[in-house]
């Protein structure tokens, strides 16, 4: 899929998981579907879906961990699109690693690779210009103890974008589009995340 621009072409790179084969956070309900109607029997297809709002590629709202925090429908959508920076890491990402990245990154930062944001790394982000942090894992922090990192980020209204697919994306600068489904009162929502590349 390509998106045309006046001065050339923008390549659209889908960085979302396919929903029904997606990774599922331990303990969450996996997405399923039921073909309620079929063309053969009813003249049309109709599908019912059951899922957790944190399945696959999704955004966390403040309400996920912050009592009284904003739901998905209250998020500032301008955070969900715009210039972003993709950087590659492996292992634990602490304050020093984030400090180096902050000198070059846009307000939207996507972390490629098998990595985990530590609380010190999250604190460095909380005191920075970053408004959205994306990761390939299903949790921006430690999967066994996710609350600490989430609380640090969400209390500063830094939005986690989790479950990305960045394996075929080179580090660098892109334009991100990652709008959540409008779900009033929800603590998270599925996202179709796309990077636009001018190269």
Which residue stretches of the chain are H helix? 39-42, 95-102, 119-126, 147-154
- C-alpha closest to that of 82 among 109, 113, 60, 120: 109
Give CA 132 to chain center in angstroms.
8
Tokens for 80, please give them.
């969900």
Strands (E), 44-131: 46-50, 58-60, 81-88, 91-93, 108-112, 115-117
Which residue of the set 54, 58, 64, 106 is catalytic?
64
Task: Note if 129 is an active site residue.
Answer: no
User: Is residue 10 within 8 Å of residue 199, measured between CB atoms?
Assistant: no
User: Would you please indicate which residues are annotated as catalytic (active-site) residues?
Assistant: 64
């Amino acid at each position: 899929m390509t998106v045309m621009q006046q001065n050339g072409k923008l390549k659209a790179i889908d960085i979302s998981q396919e929903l029904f084969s997606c990774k599922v956070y331990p303990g969450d309900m996996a997405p399923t579907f039921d073909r309620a109607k079929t063309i053969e029997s009813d003249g049309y297809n109709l599908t019912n879906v059951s899922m957790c709002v944190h399945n696959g590629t999704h955004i966390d709202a403040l309400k996920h961990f912050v009592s009284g925090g904003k739901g998905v429908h209250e998020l500032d959508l301008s955070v969900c699109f715009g210039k972003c920076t993709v950087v590659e890491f492996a292992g634990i990402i602490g304050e020093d690693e984030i400090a180096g990245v902050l000198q070059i990154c846009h307000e939207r930062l996507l972390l490629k690779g098998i990595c985990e944001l530590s609380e010190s790394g999250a604190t460095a982000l909380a005191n920075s210009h970053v408004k959205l942090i994306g990761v390939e894992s299903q949790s921006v922090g430690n999967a066994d103890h996710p609350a600490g990192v989430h609380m640090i980020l969400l209390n500063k209204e830094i939005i986690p974008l989790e479950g990305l697919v960045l394996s075929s994306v080179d580090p660098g600068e892109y334009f991100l589009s990652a709008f959540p489904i409008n779900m009033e009162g929800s603590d998270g929502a599925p996202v179709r995340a796309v990077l636009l590349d001018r190269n």
